[in-house]
Amino acid sequence: MASFKTYYDEQNLSPMRQLWVLFKQRHPARIGLYLFLILLILAILAPFISPYSPYTHDQTALLLPPAWSDDGNVEYMLGTDDLGRDILSRLMNGASLTFGLSIVSVLIAMAFGLVLGALAGLSRGVKSSMLNHVLDLALSIPSLLIAIIIVAVLGPGLANTVWAIVLSSLPRFVHTVRNAVHDELQKEYAIAYRLDGATTFQVLMHAILPNIFQSIIVVATMSVSNAILDIAALGFLRLGAQAPSAEWGAMVAESLDQLYSAPWTIALPGILIFLAVLSTNLVGDGLASALKRRLDK
């Protein structure tokens, strides 16, 4: 929509700022971002603000329903599980594990992906083409399958899950960075910068990186939503976080026996996984559409 401009103002914002301006026009994306930030704060502060320890058993309060039910107790806002552990505290601590760890693992993957992708983007010829095809194929294998394979080799456990997630989201980053670097290198501003005498490294850092960073952010957001689902799924399959851990997927797995007698022990962690993934997807969708609109302009 063409808007009427009273004053002539030249828009010379950086690519990231332009992206932000377009991003915040869309309301679902903004709501998603707020939810994402709330979860992020929860993930960081959980150990300090949770009312109980996620591992304390209270033998007098087993399987208490949430406080709004008639049998509920307001001391345990969201009820307790079969060992008398406070579900609210467990859910809060689970945020650092499921949500926090997926962000951490995606950040690690992003760092590796940037280096490897840049190296691959600079290479050419048979080696590069081979790499590209192998990456294509690696991308088409679902990340959860790769993660399960890696966990099968390394053995179950939360630390191994993180490595599995890092490795399984790596191909996507390498692929994106490689293609973006490859495309940007052909553009005139990169050539001009090189003609000014910049070394390859300088071209990469000062000319190309600021221009491709936005597409990497989009990929990173998508990877976070995948990583949350994968960590939770591995936790649920008892291949990831192990029994007493408050990881959301593991919590669902632990309460499976009480599906009928105490549905809230399963419903609540599931809702949180869903909200975490949904908010990430909303942000990702918003970013992707903002990026598309910025490039179309």
Partner 1 sequence: MIHYVLRRMFLLLFVLFSLSVLTFSLSFLFPGDPLNNLSGYQEITVNELAILEDKYKINSDYLTQYIAFLRRIFSGDLGISFNSQAPVFEQVNRIFPATVELAVYSLLVSIIIGIPLGIISAYYHRRLPDTVILTTTLVGYSLPVFWWALLIIFTFSLHFGWFPSSGRIGLVYEVPHISGFILLDILRSDIIYKYEALRNALMHMALPTLVLTTYPTTVLIRYTRGSMLNVLETNYIKTARAKGLSPFQVLLHHGLRNALLPVIRLIGLQFSSLITLAMITEVIFSWPGVGRWLIESIYQRDYPAIQGGLLAITTFVIIVTITSDILYKWFNPVSRTQVDGKF
Helices (H) and strands (E) in the chain, counts: 12, 0
Q: How many Å apart are CA 51 and CA 85, to the nearest integer?
A: 11
Q: Which of the residues 267 through 286 are near partner 1 (CB under 8 A)?
A: 269-270, 273-274, 277-278, 281-282, 285
Q: What three-state secondary structure class fits 65?
A: coil
When the beta carbons of 122 and 139 are compared against partner 1, the nearer one is 139
Kindly state the smallest distance separating residue 167's Cβ from partner 1, in Å: 13
What binding mask, one character per residue, do residues 247-266 give for partner 1 by CB under 8 A, x or -? --x--x---x--xx--x--x
Minimum Å distance from CB 236 to partner 1? 5
CA distances from 5 to 43, 85, 265 (A): 43, 60, 55
Interface residue with partner 1 among 41, 49, 115, 137 (CB under 8 A) is: 137
> Does 131 participate in binding partner 1 (rule CB under 8 A)?
no
Q: Please report whether residue 64 would count as binding partner 1 according to CB under 8 A.
A: no
Show the binding pattern over residues 4-33: x = contacts partner 1 (CB under 8 A), - = does not. ------------------------------
237 near partner 1, judged by CB under 8 A? yes
Q: How far is Cα 186 from Cα 203, in angstroms, rounded to an integer?
A: 12
Which one, 73 or 289, has the nearer CB to partner 1? 289
Over the Cα atoms of the chain, what is R_g? 23
Q: What count of residues does the chain have?
A: 297
Give the DSSP letter of residue 262.
-
Q: Kindly state the smallest distance separating residue 259's Cβ from partner 1, in Å.
A: 6
54 or 240, CB closer to partner 1? 240
Distance between CA atoms of 114 and 172, rounded to whole angstroms? 11
Based on the shown chain and the rule CB under 8 A, indicate whether residue 129 belongs to the binding site for partner 1.
yes
Query: Which 150-179 residues touch partner 1, going by CB under 8 A?
Result: 151-153, 156
Determine the residue type at 155.
G
Residue closer to partner 1, measured from CB, 52 or 236 = 236
Q: How far is CA 190 from the centre of its chain?
A: 31
CB of 234 to partner 1, least distance (A): 10
Give the CA dihedral 249, 251, 254, 256, nearest 10 degrees.
-70
Task: Considering only residues 203 through 232, tell me which ones interact with partner 1, judged by CB under 8 A.
Answer: 225, 229, 232
With CB under 8 A as the contact rule, the residue among 108, 149, 198, 209 that binds partner 1 is 149
Name the minimum Å distance from CB 237 to partner 1.
6
Nearer to partner 1, 29 or 190 (CB): 29
Tell me the C-alpha distance between 160 and 164, whole Å: 6
Which one, of 232, 184, 246, lies nearest residue 55 by Cα?
246
CA-to-CA dists, residue 112 to 100, 108, 171, 213, angstroms: 19, 6, 10, 14
CB of 286 to partner 1, least distance (A): 11
